[in-house]
């Protein structure tokens, strides 16, 4: 006689058993990603601030810096969190940025070039922006000569779409650069991004491996934005981050005098062209 086991209300079927009974493929179920723990969010904030102060710190020095602030974490954990932030210590090494497989890498065109006018060179980069419960990514497009921020976008993920949106916004100004410089990140090496640039007759330039300072002006922008805006506030959510950064970038372009520009504003220098 066949023995059957009846499942009572107090017993719970595994996902595999539920799928078998329902005739659904187990692989078709969506996975709900687990967010970072409260402690990891704190560590991300501390690492972000430390990196802005000492971008030359590697994993081991970051471990020491966190320990001095009362957080005893190992190098493996710090390395993972730094990768999550997308930051690396600044020093020459064989491979600085690893592009996506199959993406074309363009040569660096700015070595020895004197940037003497607005819209000669634009640059783009991505950084991490912390929220109270998590983090998002910020991309900005900057005119090298005037330091004018032409466009920016925020995204909770590192997909290419928000970079394309910022690029369309910048090109929608009616101006275009002779050269557009980025790092070798997968968002910027994608055929969609480089193709959009080349459609406008713009030359594509990419930072060389082991040359962390090839995109120095936009790195300085990140330092300014974080110390003058992000670190002074505690954004509750994505909407609050967007609203505050919108106000800050207007201030940065229109009102904040820039020492390298003879204490003129980026907007005044860019529009004078």
Chunked into runs of 10 residues, the chain (273 residues) has average pLDDT values of 45 69 64 70 88 85 91 91 79 45 83 92 92 89 96 93 96 95 91 96 82 73 92 90 96 94 94 85
Between 75-85 and 59-68, two packed helices, what is the crossing angle to 10 degrees?
A: 100
Q: For residue 32, is it within any domain?
A: no
Q: For residue 13, is it within any domain?
A: no
Q: Are residues 165 and 245 in the same domain?
A: yes
Do residues 160 and 190 touch, judged by C-beta distance below 8 A?
A: yes
Q: How far apart are alpha carbons 184 and 100 in whole angstroms? A: 9
* Cα separations in angstroms, 162 against 53, 140, 174, 207, 257: 28, 10, 20, 21, 29
Q: Are residues 65 and 138 in the same domain?
A: no
CATH number of the domain enclosing 173:
3.30.420.10
Full domain range(s) for residue 51: 38-85
pLDDT at 175: 93
Q: How far is CA 238 from the centre of its chain?
A: 15
Q: Are residues 231 and 130 in the same domain?
A: yes
pLDDT at 57: 85
pLDDT at 95: 39
Q: For residue 187, is it within any domain?
A: yes
Eight-class DSSP state of 258: B
pLDDT at 7: 44
pLDDT at 101: 60
pLDDT at 207: 82
pLDDT at 99: 54
Q: Are residues 131 and 58 in the same domain?
A: no
Q: How far apart are alpha carbons 225 and 223 in whole angstroms? A: 6
Q: Is the pTM of this model over 0.85?
A: no
Q: Are residues 207 and 130 in the same domain?
A: yes
């Amino acid at each position: 006689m066949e023995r059957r086991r009846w499942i009572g209300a107090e017993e719970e079927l595994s996902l595999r058993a539920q799928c078998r009974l329902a005739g659904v493929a187990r692989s078709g179920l969506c996975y709900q990603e687990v967010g970072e723990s409260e402690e990891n969010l704190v560590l991300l904030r501390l690492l972000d601030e430390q990196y802005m102060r000492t971008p030359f710190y590697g994993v081991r020095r970051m471990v020491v810096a966190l320990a001095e602030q009362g957080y005893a974490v190992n190098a493996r954990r710090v390395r993972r969190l730094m990768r999550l932030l997308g930051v690396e210590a600044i020093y020459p090494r064989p491979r600085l940025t690893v592009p996506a497989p199959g993406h074309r890498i363009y040569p660096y065109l700015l070595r020895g070039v004197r940037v003497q006018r607005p819209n000669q060179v634009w640059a783009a980069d991505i950084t991490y922006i912390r929220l109270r419960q998590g983090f998002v990514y910020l991309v900005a497009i900057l005119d090298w000569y005037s330091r004018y921020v032409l466009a920016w976008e925020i995204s909770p993920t590192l997909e290419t779409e928000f970079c394309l949106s910022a690029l369309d916004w910048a090109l929608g100004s009616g101006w275009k650069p002779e050269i557009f410089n980025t790092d070798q990140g997968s968002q910027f090496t994608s055929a969609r991004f480089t193709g959009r640039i080349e459609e406008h007759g713009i030359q594509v330039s990419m930072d060389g491996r082991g040359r962390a300072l090839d995109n120095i002006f936009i790195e300085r922008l990140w330092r300014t934005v974080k110390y003058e805006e992000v670190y002074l506030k505690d954004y509750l959510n994505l909407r609050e981050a967007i609203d505050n950064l919108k106000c800050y970038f207007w201030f940065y372009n229109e009102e904040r005098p820039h020492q390298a520009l003879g204490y003129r504003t980026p907007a005044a220098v860019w529009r004078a062209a």
